[in-house]
Amino acid sequence: MRFDRHTVVLLVRPDDAPDLPQDALDRIQDAHLAHQAGLVEQGAVLAAGPFLDGDDGRVRGFVVLSVDPQMARELYANDPAVRAGRLVAQVSSWMVPEGQVRFEQVPVPRSMLEAASGD
C-alpha cells in the first residue's frame, strides 16, 4: 500500500501565554490570520482552522502543510501568535493511504473581520 505523507502543525496555547489587553490580542489574531493566508497563497498550507469545543482547550488549531517538518517549524516560528508567545507550534508528520485526503484551494480569511463577515 502507498501512503501520502503530510506535515501537520497543532497550534497549542502554552500555560505561560502572556496576558494581554484585548486590542493587542485582536491585532495578534489578525496578524496570525494574515500570516496563515500568506502561507496558503504560497502553497505551503493545504488546510487550516481552529478547534472548537475540544476536550483540551489549549489545543487551538490544526494545519496541514505541503512542506517538510523542518520548513513547517521555520514558517511557524514567524507566525505572529507564536512570536508573541500566545501559541506554540507542535510539528509532526502524518501518513494516510494514498489519495484518501484531497485538498481544494478555497479563499481563507486574512482577518477576524473577514472571517466574521461570512462572505
At residue 15, the pLDDT reads 95
**24 vs 27: CA distance, rounded Å:** 5
- CB contact at 8 A, 55 and 2: no
Which domains does the chain show, CATH number per domain? Answer: 3-100 (3.30.70.1060)
Unique residue bearing C-alpha cell 493511504: 97
Mean pLDDT by 10 residues, the chain (119 residues): 96 96 97 97 96 93 97 98 98 96 91 83
Q: What are phi and psi of 99, to 5 degrees?
A: 80, -5
At residue 44, the pLDDT reads 97
Question: Nearest to residue 36, comparing CAs of 73, 79, 69, 66?
Answer: 79
At residue 13, the pLDDT reads 97
* Alpha carbon distance, N-terminus to C-terminus of the chain: 41
> Does this model's pTM top 0.85?
yes
